[in-house]
Amino acid sequence: MKIVNRVLLTNDDGFDAPGLALLAQAAGEIAEEVWIVAPSQDKSGVANSLSMRAPVRVVKRGERLFAVYGTPADCVAFAIRQAMQDTPPDLVLSGINNGSNLGFETLLSGTVGAATTGMLLGVPSIALSQNRDPDNEVNWDSARHHVVKTLRQLLQHPWDKQVCLNVNFPDIAADKVKGIRVTAQGMGKVDGLTVDATRDPHGEDYFWIRVQHGRLDRPANSELKLNEEGYISVTPLTFERTQTNEYQRLATLYRQDF
């Protein structure tokens, strides 16, 4: 049964990514009309970046299909304000990402950045990611078998306009998934960055920047903890990032009139 009229799909892994193809198949089961506006190539790690100082080139790949030479946020902006301006989407789905977007990873993620851009433009938005072991090939089994069921569950009840949802499928076989849980973001599994130097054939140095994973605290309600226990985690995210306790403490220390 179709439950939405028109859905916009995007991602940060690129137009031809397998996770986007999987999401398109799922979207066809819940939406009357599916649009895909995605980066022409991998744009992982660009967060909410918008191309403010450069033109954005777009290539039409087919009916309701566009490859954008820009970021995931560019894709959502172009789709809602140009390609779909006369027939706006009822829903933005971003993903399914090849790898998790848990905790600190959400601040880097172009997948999540696209969803927050959809939220900014007034469209209900969901980011979806498939957790994986970084040393092994991604196993799409969990997402493939549960994405439609998850979307139907989430779309039963509307959420606040200043919130987008961040969904992560656990890295386990589909029949081992225990269910869906609403979670808090937490710190996730990123505890630093590595910068590795190497040299090209011309003798010039260049560098690879990568996130570093560690064993951080896993609060009982955190998305990483529940995801590792076999649940599909659903975290409501918003733009407000003020740490309330520290705000109150510092407000009493730094208050001064001039």
Q: Is 49 annotated as a binding residue?
A: no
- Residue type at position 171: D
The whole-number pLDDT of residue 126 equals: 98
Q: Is 166 annotated as a binding residue?
A: no
Which helix (H) or strand (E) covers residue 141, if one does?
helix 141-154
The whole-number pLDDT of residue 212 equals: 85
Could you tell me the pTM of the whole model?
Answer: 0.94
Local structure of 137: helix, strand or coil: coil
Which helix (H) or strand (E) covers residue 114, if one does?
helix 110-120
Give all domains of the chain, ordered by start, each with its CATH number: 4-188+216-253 (3.40.1210.10)
Gap between the terminal Cα atoms of the chain:
63
Model confidence pLDDT, tens digit, residues 132-187 = 988 889 999 999 999 999 999 999 999 999 999 999 999 999 999 999 999 999 98
Q: Is 44 annotated as a binding residue?
A: yes
Q: Is 133 annotated as a binding residue?
A: no
